[in-house]
C-alpha cells in the first residue's frame, strides 16, 4: 500500500472511529462498490477492509458486525455486477463490435472464445480474481457477460470473497491490536533503527564498490 493510501487509511480510521454507528454503513457501501461496475474502477476496497479491521482490533467496532457488513457488501456487489453483465453484456459486446477500432477485438469469434473459456475455467477464474487485485474489479461482469452458470459463480465467488477480504481483515485486526506496542517500540528505538539502516546501507555500498573494483582488476 502506497504512502498516499496509508494517509487515506489514517484519515478514514479517524473519521469512522468518531462515528461508530455510521461506520458500519460506510464499510458496507465501500465493500459493495469495490466490485460494482463501473464504481469498482475507482473505489479502493482495501481502505475499507483495513479500516474496519483496525477499528475492530481497537475495540471501537464489533468485529462480527464488521465481518458481516464487509462480506455482505462484497458478495452483493459481485452479484450485482454479474447480473449487469448477464443482462447487458451481450448487447454491449455487439455494439462495440460495430466500432472501427474496438471491433477488431469485440467480434463474435472472441465472444465465442470467452464463452468457451468460462465454460472450462470459469470457476477457478472467478475464485482467483478475488485474490488478484484488479481482476476482481471486472471478473464478475465478465462472468455474467460470458454466461458462466450462476450456481458455479455464486459458490466460487463467495469462497473468493471470504478469503480475499479475510486476508485484509486478519492483517488489519492484529496490526491494530499491536499498534500501541509498535508505536512504543518505534518511539524508544527509532534513532537506533535509523542508525542501523544507515550503517547497513553504507556497508552494502562499500561492499558493492569493492566487488566492482575487484571485477575490473581481473578483467
The 10s digit of each residue's pLDDT in 143-195 is: 888 888 999 999 999 999 999 898 888 888 877 666 555 545 555 655 666 56
Averaged pLDDT for residues 85-103: 64
pLDDT of residue 115: 77
Average pLDDT over residues 62-70: 93
Closest CA to 40 of 137, 136, 129, 127: 137
Residue-level pLDDT at 158: 93
**pLDDT above 60 for 114:** yes
Reply yes or no on whether the pLDDT at 3 is more than 50. no
| CA dihedral sign of residues 60, 76, 162, 13 | negative
| Res. 57: pLDDT tops 80 | yes
% of the chain beyond a pLDDT of 90: 20
More confident residue, 93 or 75: 75
Q: In which residue are the cell numbers 460494482 written?
A: 36
Tens-digit pLDDT profile for residues 117-141: 888 888 888 988 888 777 788 888 8
Residue 41 has a pLDDT of 76
CA distance 40 to 142: 13
Average pLDDT, the chain: 78
In whole angstroms, how large is the CA radius of gyration of the chain? 24
- The rounded distance, in Å, linking the Cα atoms of 21 and 9 is 19
Q: Looking at the whole model, is its pTM more than 0.75?
A: no
Q: Calculate mean pLDDT across residues 75-87.
A: 90
pLDDT for 132 equals 77
pLDDT at 71 over 90: yes
> Residue 25: which residues within 8 A CB-CB, separation 6 or more?
69
Instruction: Give mean pLDDT, residues 52-62.
Output: 88
Amino acid at each position: 500500500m502506497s504512502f498516499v493510501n496509508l494517509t487515506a487509511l489514517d484519515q478514514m480510521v479517524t473519521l469512522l472511529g468518531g462515528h461508530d454507528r455510521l461506520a458500519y454503513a460506510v464499510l458496507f457501501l465501500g465493500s459493495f462498490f469495490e466490485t460494482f461496475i463501473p464504481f469498482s474502477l475507482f473505489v479502493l476496497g482495501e481502505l475499507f477492509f483495513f479500516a474496519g479491521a483496525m477499528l475492530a482490533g481497537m475495540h471501537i467496532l464489533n468485529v462480527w458486525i464488521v465481518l458481516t457488513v464487509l462480506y455482505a457488501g462484497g458478495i452483493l456487489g459481485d452479484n450485482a455486477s454479474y447480473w449487469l453483465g448477464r443482462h447487458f453484456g451481450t448487447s454491449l459486446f455487439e455494439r462495440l463490435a460495430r466500432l472501427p477500432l474496438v471491433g477488431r477485438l469485440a467480434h463474435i469469434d472472441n465472444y465465442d472464445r470467452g464463452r468457451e473459456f468460462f465454460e472450462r475455467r470459469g470457476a477457478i477464474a472467478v475464485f482467483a480474481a478475488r485474490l488478484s487485485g484488479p481482476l476482481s474489479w471486472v471478473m464478475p461482469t465478465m462472468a455474467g457477460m460470458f454466461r458462466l452458470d450462476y450456481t458455479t459463480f455464486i459458490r466460487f465467488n463467495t469462497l473468493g470473497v471470504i478469503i480475499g477480504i479475510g486476508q485484509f481483515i486478519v492483517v488489519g485486526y492484529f496490526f491494530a491490536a499491536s499498534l500501541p506496542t509498535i508505536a512504543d517500540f518505534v518511539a524508544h528505538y527509532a534513532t537506533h533503527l535509523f542508525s542501523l539502516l544507515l550503517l547497513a546501507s553504507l556497508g552494502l555500498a562499500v561492499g558493492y564498490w569493492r566487488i566492482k573494483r575487484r571485477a575490473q582488476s581481473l578483467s
